[in-house]
Amino acid sequence: MSHEIKIDADGKCKTCGVAGTLEDEYCIKHSPTAKLTMESYTAKILELYASGYIHIGPKIAAQIIGDVQGLLVEHLHQMDVAYTASDDGLSITFGVKLSLPKVHEGEGVKVDTSMTFVESKVKDSRSGVINEKQKDLFKE
């Protein structure tokens, strides 16, 4: 599942004038339609946009935030079940890999966002002492 946030890097916010706007011509901080949980971080990234980016900038940051939000929403029930069944809490790990896309994927930066958590804990162990010099008790 893909979550896409379109940002016009050249657009100026109607409220604060910061570069980088959503489709409604507001930055993420001031957009009435933006419902991102990390809105203040994204707004800060957009404010820094004027310093110039070569490859990684506010569009990629917004994509990552949207992907993380989408993964959280998509797996919320599974996380709730895992947390409820857990004795010691639930660890959730998010990973982001930025790489060069393959030729058929187009130009830009490929963004792969992942989420990992364990739904149930399995604990098992085996132990023994092995002596290679000991003779077998039974003949095969």
Assess if residue 51 is contained within a domain: yes
The DSSP symbol for 33 reads: S
Assess if residue 100 is contained within a domain: yes
Quote the number of domains for the chain. Answer: 1
Assess if residue 75 is contained within a domain: yes
For 24, residues 6+ apart whose C-beta sits below 8 A from its C-beta are 31, 32, 33
d(CA 111, CA 97): 6
Assess if residue 1 is contained within a domain: no
Q: What pLDDT, on a 0 to 100 scale, did the predictor assign at position 113?
A: 92
Q: Please answer whether residues 43 and 27 qualify as being in contact, where contact means their C-beta atoms are separated by less than 8 angstroms.
A: yes
d(CA 26, CA 40): 14
Assess if residue 57 is contained within a domain: yes
Assess if residue 101 is contained within a domain: yes
Range of the domain at 23: 8-116
Tens digit of pLDDT for each residue in 27-47? 767 777 665 545 566 666 666
Assess if residue 132 is contained within a domain: no
Assess if residue 80 is contained within a domain: yes
Which regions in the chain score pLDDT beneath 50?
1-3, 37
Strand ranges (E), the chain: 8-12, 19-21, 93-99, 110-116
